[in-house]
Structures are given as structure tokens and as C-alpha cells.
Amino acid sequence: MKIGIAQLNPLVGDIYGNAQKILIFAEKAAKQGVQLLLTPELSLCGYPPRDLLLTPHFVDLMARELQNLAALLPENITVLVGTITPNHDAFLHGEKSLFNSIACLKKGKIEQVFHKQLLPTYDVFDEDRYFAPGEQLNCLISFLDQENSLTIGVTICEDLWNDEQFWGKRSYKVNPLENLAKLGINLIVNLSASPYRVGKQKLRESMLHHAATRYQIPIIYTNQVGGNDDLIFDGSSVAFNSHGEIISRAKSFAEDLFFVEFNQEIADLISPNNQSQIHLLPVTEEEEIWSALVLGVRDYCQKCGFSKVLLGLSGGIDSSLVAAIASEAVGPANVLGVLMPSPYSSDHSIFDAEALVTNLGIKSEKLAIATAMDVYDQILSPLFANTTFGIAEENIQSRIRGNLLMAIANKFGYLLLSTGNKSEMAVGYCTLYGDMNGGLAVIADVPKTKVFSICQWLNQHKEIIPNNVLIKPPSAELKPGQVDQDSLPPYEILDDILDRIIHQYQSPHEIIAAGYDQEIVNKIIKLVIRAEFKRRQAPPGLKITDRAFGTGWRMPIAMRYPL
């Protein structure tokens, strides 16, 4: 039996467009002799649909389009489609009114429907806000004809992630894979929309290998690909045989269609015609993050209707990396870099920004802001008289620049990209209504030290980021001789402390016990807490770690943290 895996990039809410994409992939697969085609979780509406699910009209449209799709599919192929279905017993049992479902479409009909059993509520997930959990008994497809005798267990994303032997604990009461294995099935399929984070595919494959060998059942994992708001989906769909060996792997960060076969004689998955298709994963963490961010920017632009982007170019490493990502995502001709020097800008910053423009082949403009600074000084002088020059005046420069960039964006329909990194966002080393302006924060989940390593990786074959950008001390250049380390510890120290606070949930005492100065630790924790109101007003940032300042970050603004 030939099985196709359609690794799709849906647009959230575009029910008709997504259905058309599923149909196109199904027609291609049918011509290749595929009998069963798998699509990702919620492939009909895209993941995550969030509060679109609260609109009855949206849910009704999905039901109608699912019926239409079933009627249009080729007769000789069965397709599993991710969709939403109503929970008709919701009012009787006090449950949510919807299921996160997989519909089995065959010969013009919706033949079966399967429901997701495990509903995650951690990090970016909030599924029990919308869905009721499915029951174990409703998870099997049987192919019984002259050619095939095959029973398939259907699981949806999180249903995979509760093996107590692999994790050392259970997060939910039931383990769907264990229960399916007891039913004597021949194959497990998992339809997922699993968001990307650094190193996640290696974790997935380790988990899938464990499951396949533990139950001695082959597994096909089908994942969504693409960027949806702050979330990036890497694809990397993969098939394992019952020995835990990879039979096939799809591309990372791109749509794909690939095939495997279930061989009746050995009751296992094999590569069609012994032609294995195993795409390689990115070699380094830097390559992986780069690919994710390029996809995130490209899809955010396309799905939000932007063809051109702009950003401020300071000659620093953050804006240099964002410009390089944007150039790769939408093409150099569609990127505008704006240089906005002030009297405090160093000559090398201007030269470095101009060198970057040349290296990337992007467009650029230079708008000096000294005149605007003078005007602000004149307007504010009655109120600021007899006060000392300080942060308020420094931040005016950033806000002038932010105003200019927003004016250009509004005038010409560009998407403004924010260039702040995670280290700055964590401690508030950024200016509201200034350098935080924008529609997308490209590297807001990338620590400063990782920004440097990505740029070094990018330069391994030729200079893209000017070398001087990599070696000069980082500076906001808002006053004479300013460098970041006037206000912050070295980034190697800052980033490790931030990692312990944000990702490892360590207490101040644990961080100090690791060898860090108590005064520095307490200062950084206070900065992280005080910056929460800024982060709440920041543009969406592309998520690449297990804990980003976005959908999954739910911290109070008004609070006092016990040190």
C-alpha cells in the first residue's frame, strides 16, 4: 500500500485556499498511485486558528468545505484532513463544543472522524479553551480489500507526547500510543502542527524512534510547515519502520510531498521501489535558526499582504542580521535600509551600514536626524529647563528614528521590521515607540551571543556582515562614547543569567550559587520584571526557543518578585 505525506503550509482561516491546496496535493499523489494521503493537524483551517473557533460561522464554513472537498477528491485515494467537528454531547456533559479532528475522506464521503485525545495547555498552546478531548475507541482505519489488510491507528500531535518510559513521567492520564498498540494495529499515523524550536526535530525523532521500537509498530509523522504570526513550523515530517529506522524524511522549512509503502509480507514500512528519500536536517544550530527566521519573515510578509520591508540600519550587528534575513526572505530589491545618523553616530557605524547595503544589494536611504533633535530640544526647553541631560533626551533620538520609519512604512506600504534581540527585550534595553516600532520583531527570541554566532556562520564562505560589525563593541550611540556594557554586564554573562531565569526557572539563590555576583543577579531580575510593560507593547516576535516573549509568555506587569 502506497502512502503519501503532504507537508503543507496553510494560511490560517483560508478555508477555501487550504482546501484547494489539499486537493492539488491529493491529485498529484493519486497520479503516483498513492492510496492513502496524510495531511497535517487542522490542515483545512491552519494552525493555530485561535479565537476564530469561537465564531459559529467559521466552524460551519469548515464543515461545508470539508463536504465539498470530499466530493472533489479523486475516487482512488483516501485522504486524512485536519479539521474541526462539533461535539454534539457538549451540553449534556459540560464539555467544550468542538473537537480537534481528523476526517477520513473516501469515495466522495466523510467516512470516519477521529478526535485528538490529549489537549496541551502549556507554552503557546491553549487547546482546552476550545476543544473537548476525544475518546480512545474512535481511532482506527481499516483497509480490507483484495490488496490490503491493514489497520491504522490515528493520532493527532500531542497524542504522541505522553510516553512515561521516554519522559520519565506522564503529563496526562492516558497514553494513546500504548492503548493503540494493545489493539494489534499495523501502523500508527500522527497528524501534527508542531511549532519549531531549536533542536526540536532531534527530540521528536528520538521520541518516535523510542515509540516505534517499544511497540514494534511503524510510525508516520506528518507535520505542518510555515510561519503563522509568531510561530514557525519546520515540517521535517518523517517515517520510521518498526525497528526504529528512518525510512523517509521530508524537507525542513519547505512544503513537500513524499511517499512510503506498507509492505504486507513483512508488515512494515519500506521506501517505494527501494528509493529512499531522506532529506538532511540543518547541520548546525545557526543554520537551523537562520532557515527558521527566513521562513518566518517570508510567510509573515506573504500572509499579511506585504511585498516590501524596511528597517533602520545603525551599523550594528542586530540590524545587520535582520537585513540579511530580510534580503534572503523577500529578495534584496524588496528591502529598504534607512540610515539615520545623529551627532553621536560614529563614522564607522555609517561606513559599516553602507558596506552592509553593498554586500546585500539592498536599497538604502540616509536621513540625518540632527535637525529634528534641535526642534525637539526647542519645543521641550521650557519644560526641561534646569534639568540634566539623561535617558529621556537619549530616547528622543530613538523615537525620532521610529517616527521616520513608520512614516515611510505608511507612505509606501512597507512592513517595518524591528531589530531588537532577546537580551535587550529581556532587560528593557530598548525604547518604546522608538526602536521597538514595527510590525514584526525578527530576532526578538535570539540572544545577543547567538546573534554573533549566526553572523559568523553567515560569513563562513564570504563576507556578508562587514567584519568590523563583528568586532566592535555593541552600542546604541545615544550619547558620546556610549557602549552597551556601560549599563549591562558582558553579554556572555547576561545571556547565561537570562537563560537561567527564563528557560531554567532558577531562583536568585540558585543563580548566585552557580557563581554569579548577587548584585548583578538581583539587578538583572529587576530589569526583567520592570521591562514587562514594554514587552506587552512590542510587535510579535518570531519564536525559536522553548520560551519566547510572545504567545506563551504570560507574566503580570504589576508585580513584585521576592529576591
User: Rg of the chain's alpha carbons, rounded to an integer?
Assistant: 26
Spell 311-331 as b/e; 16+ CB within 10 A means b: bbbbbbbbbbbbbbbbbbbbe
Quote the cell numbers at residue 286: 545557526
Dihedral (Cα; 74, 76, 79, 84), 10-degree rounding? 60
Find residue 263's DSSP bridge partners.
268
Does 328 qualify as catalytic in the annotation?
A: no
Q: Which amino acid is at 9?
A: N
End-to-end CA distance of the chain: 61
Catalytic residue among 45, 139, 157, 455: 157
Quote the cell numbers at residue 484: 552597551
Q: What are phi and psi of 423, to 5 degrees?
A: -60, -45
Residue 371 Cα distances to 55, 397, 400, angstroms: 51, 11, 11
DSSP 144-198: ESSS-EEEEEEEEGGGGS--HHHHSS-SSS--HHHHHHTTT-SEEEEEE--B--T
Which residues are CB-contacts of 454 (< 8 A; sequence separation ≥ 6)? 286, 289, 290, 321, 446
CA geometry: angle 120, 50, 66, nearest 5 deg: 100
Find out whether 366 and 342 touch, Cβ atoms under 8 Å. Answer: no
User: Is the bond leading into 48 cis (omega within 30 degrees of zero)?
Assistant: yes
CA geometry: angle 121, 126, 128, nearest 5 deg: 80
Q: CB neighbours (10 Å) of residue 246?
A: 15
CA geometry: angle 451, 453, 457, nearest 5 deg: 115
Find out whether 256 and 250 touch, Cβ atoms under 8 Å. Answer: yes
Dihedral (Cα; 297, 302, 307, 313), 10-degree rounding? -10
**Cα–Cα distance between 309 and 323 in angstroms, integer?**
9
Does 116 qualify as catalytic in the annotation?
A: yes
Catalytic residue among 96, 106, 116, 308: 116
**Cα–Cα distance between 108 and 509 in angstroms, integer?**
63
Closest alpha carbon to 539 in 448, 469, 434: 434
Dihedral (Cα; 272, 273, 275, 277), 10-degree rounding? -10
Does 45 qualify as catalytic in the annotation?
A: no
List, by residue number, the catalytic residues: 41, 116, 157
